[in-house]
Structure 1
């Protein structure tokens, strides 16, 4: 199981790297479609897997965007990991709407709050619309893909257990 899990996480992280190149227009070049693979990992494999893909995915998006906020991207990666982990907990408890709304609001409004103090209020006001649009798009893509991929993942796991 561990080999397959690592393979799935590698595939989802690679998908995050590719999606990081699809940018949402913003004042910072790291707002992209890199979060939906993390939401997929969270729903299919749990909060830990989703958190890893979310953090690495954001860092890849930041690298593709030129690391515009420098080391502050590590803070954002931690925030992304926490938000994706919370999404996983709610999603596993069949609270899909709550998980989705909390991820969108957390990513768009709560996660950038430290930047009011680190940069200024103008940065916060300028980045929120792009983050909101990006969060909604990432969440919708994930919600469409999760049911389709869950049957593949479940089928693989059942098939593997039948061989043992």
Structure 2
């Protein structure tokens, strides 16, 4: 009986943390770098470390949804749906790689996937979805701010996670 109660209590705590981090993503979504680039993914990256890759993916995906919604879906809804999935996948991989390879490798992978690789993937998708601003001009415009925001989001998530771990142990 105690195991069931502890499991139930643990699930409520994890769900509460997820809700709080999604709320923090909403706040980060209001801090825009450029267009729909914002500080919404830091809570998702942190959740991937603190709660696990699946919860990190959920928080990161919903964080991008909130940023896109507060920006008016500037890259169209279909493109942002793809980006929501992409953000969830990147946060998930960040959490998985952190467990297997540590902070440096997971951070580099997350930054590269979220910055240059994500922007590169957006090039053909922007053409397919018929965005007015598409292709290589889109890439050259987004690569620097998106990569810098990725560095900040991943670094802050890792910093908070490490500080919290140090305090809890």
- Common fold by TM > 0.5: yes
Greater helix fraction, Structure 1 or Structure 2: 2
Alignment partner of 1:67: what SS? coil
Q: How does 1:34-53 map to 2 (within 5 A)?
A: 34-53=40-59
Alignment partner of 2:37: what SS? coil
Superposition TM-score, scaled by structure 2 size: 0.84
- CA separation in 2, counterparts of 1:64 and 1:150? 33
Alignment partner of 1:34: what SS? coil
- CA separation in 1, counterparts of 2:144 and 2:158? 21
Q: Give the number of equivalent residue pairs.
A: 151
Structure 2 gaps of 5+ residues are 1-9, 127-133
Superposition TM-score, scaled by structure 1 size: 0.86
Show the counterpart of 2:142: 127
After superposition, the CA RMSD in angstroms is 1.5
- CA separation in 1, counterparts of 2:57 and 2:100? 17
Q: Which of 90, 94, 97 is equivalent to 1:90?
A: 97
Per-residue CA deviation, residues 15-40 of structure 1 (Å, 9 max, x unaligned), is 0100111111x3xx110011110011
Show the counterpart of 1:20: 29
TM-superposed CA distance for 1:94, in Å, is: 4.6
Q: How does 1:128-143 map to 2 (within 5 A)?
A: 128-143=143-158
1:57 aligns with 2:63: yes
Assess, with a 3 A threshold, how the Cα gap between structure 1 residues 13 and 151 changes in structure 2: closer, same or farther. farther
- CA separation in 2, counterparts of 1:151 and 1:42? 17
Per-residue CA deviation, residues 98-157 of structure 1 (Å, 9 max, x unaligned), is 1001111111111122321123111011101110110011111111100233467x68xx
Show the counterpart of 1:160: none
Show the counterpart of 2:20: 11
Structure 1 gaps of 5+ residues are 156-164
